[in-house]
A and B are shown apart, each in its own frame.
Chain A
Amino acid sequence: MSDILWIQGITCNGNTQSFLNYPNMKLFLKKYNFLYHPYLESSLNVVQAFEYEKKFDFLIIEGAVSKDFIRAGVNFYEKVKNLAKNAKYIIALGTCATYGGIFKEKDPEHITGVLYDKDKENGLLSKFKSKTFNIPGCPTHPQWLVFTLDTLNNFGKILVDDLSRPKEIFGYLTHHGCTRNEYFEWKVDSKNFGEKEGCLFYLQGCRAPITHGSCNKILWNEVNSKTRSGSPCFGCTESSFPRNNMFETKTFMSIPADLPDGVSKRAYLTITGIAKAFHIKRLKEKLM
């Protein structure tokens, strides 16, 4: 059994609720013991959890961090520093814990993620970098978390990218596996919301080709994703989240200002010119 202590800083509880969607909870709880969890039964109460002095396996931090945030009557930052020392691994869970996220915007000078402050590696707990792993997402998919815990538990290490995110989750783009991919390939945009047809990258603000995550590989609630169902990807796993005007694609000379990850403007313009020249009739028609 590995011990988990799950604590919350400045958060909406979204990652806690998202975790409750994990389908194999009973099996999970045979492998892991919650010293503290914000919803599930656990051996400690919240005050005892903050005061916990022994060594343990996983510290999960949900929510952003600030030096003067009070949680259950105690200074969150001071308590978390102690817990962090005693934890074998630290998981920064969700976009707020990873980069500061939405709640950073209340006080951008003083609120940060665990390791990162937006994309800069000077979060309030960045000294714990060697044992901290980021799982961004607003919220995080429960299977992303369980995969990370299981891998660390079984192998003692996990492959990460340069933002300390597990590569097997964040090596992909949200775009990968979207059911609208063909429209992207042929540059056919969705004219409106509420349509089955068309790609949302050109008008509706979709960030899937620029956003790292497995949303269209490991489906949400095992059934769907935002982009499959017609909502743009808001880029919630990246440090730039939340941006402004998220329901709109910013364009530059009538192409998206932010191009797919790693694709040069020249390459993009060339392929767009060719794709658009072909006017594929089937792709302009309704699916049904």
Chain B
Amino acid sequence: MKRVSKEIVEKIEGEAKLELVWENEKVVNSKIKFFSYRGMEEIITGKNPLDALILTPRVCGICGHAQLMACVHGLEDVYANNGIKLHISQKAKSIRDITLDCEIIQNHLKWLFFIIMPILYKIDSKVFPKDKIFQALNIAQKTNKIIATFAGQWPHNSYMIPGGIASDPTFVEIFQANSFIDEVILFFEEVILKSDIENIVAIDNFKSLLLYDGILKDAMDIMEKKDLQDLGKSHDRFIVFGENSIFERGKAIKTTARHVNEKYIQEEALDFTFAKNVKYNRRFYEVGPLSRAIIAKNPLAKNIHRQYKDSILNRIVMKIMEIAYLSYQVKKSLNSINLNEESYIKPKVKIEALEGEGHGFAEAARGSLYHNIKIKKGKIANYDIITPTQWNLGNSINENKTSTLQQALLGLKSKEAVTLVFRSFDECSVCTTQ
């Protein structure tokens, strides 16, 4: 007997409806529906191209900074496609990467402490201590202070512009940012994984990871005790388009990485939801921290993959570890910035004078973000945004060609397991229904 359960999933930066088809107490099919559409792409069309730098961050309250980076990359690509190579100083590039790294860090901290740990504790019939959540929120706020130090504020700033950045920091700002990132690192070392950062980022196998106490070990212990480690396996297909910070572009089936080309990205509209499917060369792929780790040949991810493939265990571990990798990277970048370089080098031609197309990519907290921009007669003629959640949460109409989420949910036996697997993707509703 088949039965269908329908549930509204909330607090995913909005809501969605998850419909599950159960047979013999196992999930055999699923559908995810988004309720609304806000029309951001239409709102941007017809505007001055630079206004997109102000509008696109407002796609999403939690990943607006990634939207800004994808937008500025897209606008700079319009220059490139017109034969104008803009020189962006290493200083501007580093600061852009630092602030986006920080947005990703604060997102992962919120996801871990507000969502994943409380779910795991609940499965283990315990309550995750509120004080830990407040402590993590405080650290997420510190991370946001680094963004504000360079960009003015978070959420919603527009300090990346074609040619560089709008701010011109002094050592006062560098020192200030350094002290904030030190607090983030200290929190990781004292609460998440009790070791020192140099050692943490060098951990290359699952066994070593389990040597240290902390939240990460807590999560792993519950997953082992409750037999959750193998849940949520999907197609073992990973894709990354952004090249900001430590990320590398590529795709992989299992763990062998290959090149990608954006011309194979396809969007497909569906009649029952406001979210569009996204595929690469007719196939669904997973985006996000696990994909980034696999493509970058992260030894820990590859080691875990041998036993657990793309299960929630690997997905959760790599998202937590990304906090450490990025904090370490921010620290390194802060100490290597040459303040004597230009923050901004004014393009010789105004963007309104150009026509044509630009592709802008950024790795956002949840995965690859893509802006496709077309400019005509000095205005935005078309703006297309493809977000990470669209990649992960597709709806296949063909049962034999499941989306990443659909595949991950297959065979799950309980509502708790569905919630955990679903939230391991850290979906974002507002992004999906721009």
Chain A 58-71 per-residue mask, 1 if CB under 8 angstroms from chain B, else 0: 00000000000111
A265 CA to B8 CA, complexed, in Å: 56
Determine if B156 is an interface residue (Cβ-Cβ < 8 Å).
yes
Q: Please state if B51 and A18 are interface contacts (CB–CB under 8 Å).
A: no
Q: Please state if A222 and B145 are interface contacts (CB–CB under 8 Å).
A: yes
Q: Please state if A221 and B14 are interface contacts (CB–CB under 8 Å).
A: no
CB contacts (< 8 Å) of B11 on chain A: these are 38-39
CB contacts (< 8 Å) of A193 on chain B: these are 161, 163-166, 343-344, 346
Q: Please state if A139 and B14 are interface contacts (CB–CB under 8 Å).
A: no
Tell me the A62-104 residues at the B interface (CB within 8 Å).
Answer: 69-73, 102-103
Q: Please state if A70 and B58 are interface contacts (CB–CB under 8 Å).
A: no
A11 CA to B430 CA, complexed, in Å: 8
Tell me the A1-55 residues at the B interface (CB within 8 Å).
Answer: 8, 10-18, 20-21, 23, 25-26, 38-40, 45-47
A96, chain B: closest CB distance, angstroms: 9
Q: Please state if A221 and B154 are interface contacts (CB–CB under 8 Å).
A: yes
Q: Please state if B153 and A221 are interface contacts (CB–CB under 8 Å).
A: yes
A51 CA to B165 CA, complexed, in Å: 47
Q: Please state if B167 and A242 are interface contacts (CB–CB under 8 Å).
A: no
CB contacts (< 8 Å) of B210 on chain A: these are none
B107, chain A: closest CB distance, angstroms: 10
CB contacts (< 8 Å) of A266 on chain B: these are none
Q: Please state if A226 and B153 are interface contacts (CB–CB under 8 Å).
A: yes
Chain B 156-181 per-residue mask, 1 if CB under 8 angstroms from chain A, else 0: 11110101111110100000100000
Determine if A264 is an interface residue (Cβ-Cβ < 8 Å).
no
Chain A 173-207 per-residue mask, 1 if CB under 8 angstroms from chain B, else 0: 00000000000000000001111100000000000
A10 CA to B8 CA, complexed, in Å: 18
A242 CA to B47 CA, complexed, in Å: 11
CB contacts (< 8 Å) of B58 on chain A: these are 12, 14, 102, 138
Beyond A102-B55, A102-B58, A223-B145, whether A46 also contacts B10 by CB under 8 A is yes
CB contacts (< 8 Å) of A40 on chain B: these are 114
A271 CA to B158 CA, complexed, in Å: 31
B40, chain A: closest CB distance, angstroms: 8
Q: A13-B60, A46-B8, A70-B35 are in contact. List 11 more A-B contacts (CB 8 A).
A: A20-B110, A40-B114, A69-B36, A138-B58, A193-B161, A193-B165, A226-B153, A228-B152, A230-B159, A231-B157, A234-B158
Sorted nearest first, the 4 A-B pairs with minimum C-beta distance are A194-B344, A194-B343, A13-B61, A220-B153
